């Protein structure tokens, strides 16, 4: 058989083997979406194969090798440089990689790869994002143009978050509900500032009630839902203020006109009594 034809057959056989063994076992990487600066992160590689068929487990970050477990070796672990973190050997194993004292450089995409001993076959999980955050230390600050508004006024308020990394996202709630996005506008701040700010401009109507509660949420990730609690966020801070809405007053001229007519009628009656014809 021609050598080129032989090579082609080999390539086809390998391709068919890989395709046929695509579902030899299930594999997934469990990586926390967010981690706080300085804490320990445990990532799990879940696979459905017996340990006696396992040859190697490898962790990568953005395609770069970080950690390997090779069954049967006297020293089963091989580790490489892990930017922004240290390996916690007490918590790490064939199926787990624990990174301690994580810094911002540890943020990235992680995946695990599992290799069988027989037949020789490797499978890589989907990449999972990890973001290391520096949480906010203070609640957001709310300022309003005034404390009492009349129906028909435009409520103007600004919320500024505390510093964090990444920069938190701000969402306004009016009486517990998120207003239309058209009423909220981000305020661009200098790049050196790790805080964010959002302006709210809301038309005041009598439907809002006599008191309006303005709540500012400063969160990582951004706003999820009105129904979820703060535990659904990696970082959550909030502040609230109450402003008053004054009822629409009657035109002053109408009341003055009626009063003037009443007074004039009394005066004319008195004059007519004093000077009878």
Query: CA 269 from chain center: how many Å?
Result: 76
Looking at residue 249, what is its pLDDT?
Answer: 57
pLDDT of 185 over the 60 cut = yes
The pLDDT value given to residue 264 = 43
Residue reference for tokens 């020789």: 120
Closest of 106, 105, 112, 104 to residue 128, by C-alpha: 112
pLDDT at residue 7, as a whole number: 47
* Average pLDDT, integer, range 36-63: 93
> How many C-beta atoms surround the C-beta of residue 155 within 10 A?
20
pLDDT in tens, 123-182: 999 999 999 999 999 999 999 999 999 999 999 999 999 999 999 999 999 999 999 999
Tens-digit pLDDT profile for residues 223-252: 998 788 888 999 999 999 999 998 765 554
User: Mean per-residue pLDDT for 194-221?
Assistant: 94
- Give the chain's domains with CATH numbers: 3-133 (2.60.40.10), 141-246 (2.60.40.10)
Q: What's the rounded Cα separation, in Å, for the pair 227 and 224?
A: 9
Contact 204, 152 (CB under 8 A): yes
Please give the model's pTM, rounded to 2 decimal places.
0.73
Q: What is the pLDDT of residues 60-112, one digit of tens each?
A: 998 899 999 999 888 898 888 889 999 999 999 999 999 999 999 999 999 99
* pLDDT exceeds cutoff 70 at 34: yes
Place of tokens 């309006």: 212
């Amino acid at each position: 058989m021609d050598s080129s034809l032989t090579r082609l057959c080999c390539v086809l056989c390998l391709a068919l083997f890989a395709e046929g063994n695509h579902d030899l076992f299930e594999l997934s990487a469990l990586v926390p979406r967010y981690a706080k600066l300085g804490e320990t992160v445990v990532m799990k590689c879940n696979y459905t194969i017996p340990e006696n068929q396992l040859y190697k487990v490898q962790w990568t970050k953005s395609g770069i090798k970080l950690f390997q477990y090779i069954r049967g070796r006297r020293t089963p672990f091989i580790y490489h440089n892990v930017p922004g973190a240290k390996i916690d050997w007490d918590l790490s194993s064939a199926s787990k990689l624990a990174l301690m004292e994580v810094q911002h450089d540890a943020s990235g995409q992680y995946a695990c790869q599992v290799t069988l001993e027989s037949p020789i076959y490797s499978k890589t999980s989907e990449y999972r994002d990890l973001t290391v955050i520096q949480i906010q230390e203070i609640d957001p600050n709310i300022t309003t143009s005034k404390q009492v508004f009349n129906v028909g006024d435009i409520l103007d308020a600004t919320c500024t978050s505390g510093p964090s990394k990444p920069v938190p996202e701000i969402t306004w709630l009016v009486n517990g509900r998120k207003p239309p996005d058209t009423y909220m506008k981000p305020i661009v701040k200098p790049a050196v500032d790790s805080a964010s700010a959002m302006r709210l401009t809301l038309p005041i109507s009598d439907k809002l009630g006599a008191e309006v509660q303005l709540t500012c949420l400063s969160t990582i990730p951004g706003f999820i839902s009105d129904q979820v609690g703060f535990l659904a966020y990696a970082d959550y801070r909030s502040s609230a203020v109450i402003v008053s809405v004054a009822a629409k007053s009657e035109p002053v001229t109408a009341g003055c006109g009626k009063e003037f007519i009443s007074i004039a009628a009394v005066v004319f009656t008195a004059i007519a009594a004093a000077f009878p014809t």
